Structure 1
Amino acid sequence: MAENSSDQEKTEEPTAKRLQQARDKGQVPRSKELGTAFVLVGAAIAMMIFGQSLANSLASVATSLFSLSRKQVFDVGEMSMVFGRILGEVGLPVLGFVVFLAVAAFVGNILLGGMSFSWQAAAPKMNKFNPLNGFKRMFGLQAVVELIKAIAKFSVVALVAWMLLSLYFDDIMAISTGTPFGAIAGSVSLLNKLFTLLCCSLLLIVIIDAPYQVWNHNKQLKMTKQEIKDEHKDSEGRPEVKGRIRSLQREMAQRRMMSEIPNADVVVVNPTHYSVALKYDKEQARAPLLVAKGTDEVAMKIREIAREYEVPVISSPQLARAIYYSTKLKKQIPDGLFTAVAQVLAYVYQLKQFQKGRGRRPIPLPDRMPIPDDLQVDSDGNPLTRE
């Protein structure tokens, strides 16, 4: 009796089929920390690229707004033009920042696990509405890991923020002593530097979390030895099904082979066991082709079809065995059998001419055909040895 797979320990690595089934269900390794880090680092890089342009635009907008006259402020048409200019100046750097951030968010979320969309994952599941399952998720191992990550992330970010504020405290205080435009430029530069360093601190969490998510995903998909066997059996097919398929394939191949017999030039037989059908087309091949062969019942069927379509049947046990064991279907006979087969074809041609009254009766074929020693076999297919 087979051991229940649920009682076995899952020690085997998941197969490619198991991984694909999990992907189809939307189960892929994901790291929220990696996505968050990519978004924040992307924002920092976007600030480096577009921050100065945005700061200059804001400074220009502030200058133009503070220089408006009372008449312009109360003129609706004038204010519409002002807002249009503001949108034109600020819109381009803001748009570049948003697009860069969107790309960073997309890449960060597919970097681990790749792109995956599953209707099965999107479909509502009733077990998610079960309070017991909710408590298990709240107090399970995964919840503990997430809590540890949250505490670690807060601690790392808080520590790095404190260190940065301590290190750049004098520079932050010095901003207020400069001119307005200098303060804006200095603030943007310092903000870029502090924000970038603060975001990079999250990479420490990502370095730990991403490999853990891959390991945890692989652990959840591990299989028992019985599951491996069952999957292999399902993939390869049940023995009885495979046997039936092979049987049907043999029947189809045999039917195709039998359909070639009416076009054969001659069928060479061993009166009790073997039949081989040969066809010679000198314009397409340099030697005769074996179009059909068989033993016992198949051999008898070949002879039956040959007689039905008036294909000459020649008895030559030695040659029939040699062709059967040395030549594959649809292949030319070996060079060593050219002479023997040529004699058979010549005899068949002369016999047809005699039957039409156009020649003499051909001389019967010799009992021993000119067959090389290495191609001679007995009735069991074993090579014949000469003393």
Structure 2
Amino acid sequence: MAGERTEAPTPKRLKDARQKGNVAKSEEVVTIGVLFLAITAMKMLGPELWWDMRDLLHEGLGNPTSQELTRESAFQIGKESFARALMALLPLLGLLAAGAVALNLAQTGLLLSGEPLKPKMNRVNPGAGLKRLVSLDGLMRLGKSLFKFITVSLVVYFTLKGQMEEVSALSQYSIGEGGRRLVSLGFDIAFKTVGVLFLMAIADYAWQRRRFIKQLMMTREELKQEMKENDGDPQIKAAIRRRRQQLMNRMIAAVKTADVVVTNPTHFAVALKYDPLTMQAPIVVAKGQDFLAKRIREVAMKNGVPVLEEPPLARALHAAVAIGNPVPANLFHAVAEVLAWVYALRRKQPLARNRFAGAGGNP
């Protein structure tokens, strides 16, 4: 059907979307990944963090200061306590921040775009907000929330059910041992819960990726329009090809009127024409490389134009002189010898021809 989005997005369309900050990304991967890091960090750093906080609280409450408690002194004490608490929490906070950045980069790569920060009226439009609530995205968010709730409930239930005897026996242990066993049980529940939720996060990223690609799907008309913009209008390209062909035909026709064709012998060919009455210097009327050089030689030989193998001169002329331009002064002498050989041929003077051939030509 016309207007149906059936074509996969092109690299240009994906690049344009990325520049606008529109990429496939799952917030669940970041949230649950950071939660996993937090639980792991608390298991590893928890005891040390606990003792740091204990020492801070003990020093604050157990060591009364002789300093008069004023507004300024209270502020100073609070400031020092906050600084120590922050230093103790810094490894944990740094790990969580680094994890959040890494999880975002893993999904989107390095992305710098100010487009998402621009204000959009539909974000504050109540009607648009209501549509988002009852849309597929809203249903997906609701489904993920229910899944999280059910997952956490089931994990807690089955974990506690399997360790009910140990939970019932906690009262028999000392406060320290009971607390240690309770913390261990809490970490067990947390790791199991996060493991299941992370599987949901991976599935969510796959769905977000599929939805992102589907949103960028193109109609055939859009694809054709992009091809025109990238490659140019086919009519213009056809006109350029016709123009090139006309120039090529004109150049090949000029070979028929040339005085001589200097070759490499196979890679380059340059056709020269000189009229002492109307030209101050010989002019390059045609030149080409490889296949075109072969075509120039064939046309020249077919029309009786002398063909001379002089590789250094052919390469120099091909590189230095554009079609329709005169030969530069530094090549006058070499071109003059070639023309002298041509005029000798026309006058049927084989001695001049043999003399030039001995100097390096190969007619």
Q: Output the TM-score relative to the length of structure 2.
A: 0.66
Q: CA RMSD in A?
A: 4.7
Q: 1:75 to 1:108 in 2, by over 3 A?
A: same
Deviation at residue 98 of structure 1 after TM alignment: 0.6
Deviation at residue 137 of structure 1 after TM alignment: 1.8
| Paired residues of 2:21 and 2:113 also in contact (CA < 8 A) | yes
CA distance in 1 between counterparts of 2:173 and 2:87 reads 28
| Paired residues of 1:347 and 1:362 also in contact (CA < 8 A) | no
CA distance in 2 between counterparts of 1:81 and 1:175 reads 42
Deviation at residue 197 of structure 1 after TM alignment: 2.3
Q: Which runs of 5+ in 2 are unaligned?
A: 285-299, 320-333, 355-363
Q: 1:304 to 1:241 in 2, by over 3 A?
A: farther
Deviation at residue 60 of structure 1 after TM alignment: 4.2
Deviation at residue 312 of structure 1 after TM alignment: 9.8
- Note if 1:330 corresponds to 2:318: yes
| Paired residues of 1:290 and 1:330 also in contact (CA < 8 A) | yes
Deviation at residue 196 of structure 1 after TM alignment: 2.2
Deviations 1:264-299 (A, max 9, x none): xxxxx96x54465549xxxxxx98995743xxxxx8
Q: 1:274 to 1:38 in 2, by over 3 A?
A: same
The answer for the alignment partner of 1:149 in structure 2 is: 144
Q: 1:303 to 1:165 in 2, by over 3 A?
A: farther
- Note if 1:309 corresponds to 2:283: no
Q: 1:160 to 1:312 in 2, by over 3 A?
A: closer
- Aligned mate of 1:26, from 2, 21, 25: 21
The answer for the alignment partner of 1:123 in structure 2 is: 118
- Note if 1:40 corresponds to 2:28: no
Deviation at residue 31 of structure 1 after TM alignment: 0.7
The answer for the alignment partner of 1:112 in structure 2 is: 107
The answer for the alignment partner of 1:318 in structure 2 is: 304
Q: Amino acid of the residue matched to residue 195 of structure 2?
A: C
Deviation at residue 109 of structure 1 after TM alignment: 2.7
CA distance in 2 between counterparts of 1:81 and 1:137 reads 49
CA distance in 2 between counterparts of 1:289 and 1:11 reads 48
Q: Aligned to 1:38, what secondary structure does the other structure show? A: helix
Q: 1:188 to 1:306 in 2, by over 3 A?
A: farther
- Aligned mate of 1:203, from 172, 186, 198: 198
Q: 1:79 to 1:289 in 2, by over 3 A?
A: closer
Deviation at residue 362 of structure 1 after TM alignment: 10
Q: Amino acid of the residue matched to residue 330 of structure 1?
A: H
- Note if 1:227 corresponds to 2:222: yes
- Aligned mate of 2:93, from 95, 98, 103: 98
| Paired residues of 1:12 and 1:223 also in contact (CA < 8 A) | yes
CA distance in 2 between counterparts of 1:108 and 1:172 reads 36
Deviations 1:301-358 (A, max 9, x none): x546995234499x984344798xxx99838xxxxxxxxxx9x947727979xxxxxx
The answer for the alignment partner of 2:289 in structure 1 is: none
Q: Aligned to 1:28, what secondary structure does the other structure show? A: coil
CA distance in 2 between counterparts of 1:187 and 1:143 reads 38
Taking every aligned residue pair, what percent have the same amino acid on both sides? 25
- Aligned mate of 1:348, from 340, 347, 363: 340
Alignment of 1:52-201 (within 5 A): 52-61=47-56, 68=63, 72=64, 75=67, 91-172=86-167, 178-179=173-174, 181-182=176-177, 185-201=180-196
Deviations 1:18-74 (A, max 9, x none): 111111111101112111111111101211221121123344456656754xxx355
| Paired residues of 1:47 and 1:192 also in contact (CA < 8 A) | no
Q: Amino acid of the residue matched to residue 308 of structure 1?
A: M
CA distance in 1 between counterparts of 2:114 and 2:85 reads 41
Q: Aligned to 1:97, what secondary structure does the other structure show? A: helix
Q: Amino acid of the residue matched to residue 29 of structure 1?
A: A
CA distance in 1 between counterparts of 2:260 and 2:152 reads 85
How many residues align? The count is 309
The answer for the alignment partner of 1:364 in structure 2 is: 348
Q: Output the TM-score relative to the length of structure 1.
A: 0.62
Q: 1:164 to 1:83 in 2, by over 3 A?
A: farther
Q: Aligned to 1:112, what secondary structure does the other structure show? A: helix
CA distance in 2 between counterparts of 1:104 and 1:176 reads 38
Q: Amino acid of the residue matched to residue 150 of structure 2?
A: S
The answer for the alignment partner of 1:296 in structure 2 is: none
| Paired residues of 2:261 and 2:305 also in contact (CA < 8 A) | no
CA distance in 2 between counterparts of 1:58 and 1:97 reads 14
